[in-house]
A = this chain, B = another copy of it.
Amino acid sequence: MDDKARVILDEKAKVLKALGHPTRLFIVEELARGERCVCELVKLVGADFSTVSKHLTLLKNAGVVQDDKRGQMVYYTLRVPCILRFMDCIESVIVSGSCK
């Protein structure tokens, strides 16, 4: 494997790893319904403000979400909606273990 392929592999793994945590996956699925400020996500997740903020930073660094500060609030949106189409496949893994 050459350097370039290695970098791409690492980047892809980074995205998947970012999605591979229940709280972060929950956030992504919630953002699929529209933009949310951090305070809304904190309420929904039920964890500390700092915890949610760090999860969002990680998702942002992986390229999954983007933020937009308006006033005192920071709104997050899903940057790559195609990720959601993946979820049907992932669910098929846990339900039947097979997919088309």
Contact B19–A16 (Cβ < 8 Å): yes
A98 contacts chain B at the CB level, 8 A cutoff? yes
Tell me which residues across on chain B come within 8 A of A19, comparing CB atoms.
13, 16, 20
B63 touches A80 (CB 8 A): no
| A12/B81 in contact, CB under 8 A | no
Chain B residues with CB under 8 Å of A11's CB are: 94
Q: How many copies does the complex hold?
A: 2
Q: What is the size category of the interface that chain A forms with chain B? A: 35 or more
Q: Is A10 an interface residue (CB 8 A)?
A: yes
- Asked whether any CB of chain B lies closer than 8 Å to the CB of A68, the reply is no
13 A–B pairs (Cβ distance < 8 Å), ordered by A: A9-B22, A12-B87, A12-B94, A13-B19, A15-B20, A15-B94, A17-B17, A63-B94, A64-B93, A79-B93, A82-B88, A83-B90, A86-B89
Chain A interface (Cβ within 8 Å of chain B)? 1, 6, 8-22, 24-26, 62-64, 66, 79-83, 85-94, 97-100
